[in-house]
Each structure stands twice: as structure tokens, then as C-alpha cells.
A = this chain, B = another copy of it.
Amino acid sequence: MTSEKAWRADVYVALKAGVNDPQGLAVRDGLHRLGYDEVSQVRVGRYIQVWLEAPDEEAAAARVREMCERLLANPVIEEYRFHVVRA
């Protein structure tokens, strides 16, 4: 019986290029009001940390990819990347 190990996945979810980003626009306007005129664009996404058990890194990554596809990211408008480390 393989022993289960603890892993942490750091998942980064961002809007696909070309998708309207009202939150990014609001943050950019806020930065401009604070005097950061050198900022040309802002895009806001999600940074999700998931702690899970899995026998090895490959198994952990496979499950995290499934979680991204089914819940953590909206495949229509978002793209994601992640990496897995021992917790």
C-alpha cells in the first residue's frame, strides 16, 4: 500500500487575453488616481492554494488539473497554470 503524502498546489487563474477585465480597469484607474501614471495595464486573476494528499507528485498534479478543469477555472474565459510542492 503506497503511503499518502501531503502536497500543496499553487494555482494561478487569469483571464484569457482579449477577455474584458473590468476589475483590472478599476485597479488601473485607482493606481492612476494615486499618481502611478506609468501603469499602462492591469489584469486581475485568482491565486488559489490547495493542500491535498496523494501518493506522489504526478498523482497530485493529475488531480489538481481535474480540479482546475471542473471548478477552479472557467475554461471559456480563463486559463490556468499550477505547480505542486511537498507541503
Contacts and interface: CB of A to CB of B under 8 A. Distances in A.
A14 B70 contact: no
Interface residues of A, number: 33
A17 B40 CA distance: 33
Contact of A45 (B40, B46, B66): B46
Given A31-B71, A34-B70, A67-B31, A40 B46 contact: no
A41 interface: yes
Given A14-B47, A46-B47, A47-B13, A52 B39 contact: yes
A4 to B, nearest CB: 8
Given A36-B63, A36-B67, A71-B34, A45 B42 contact: no
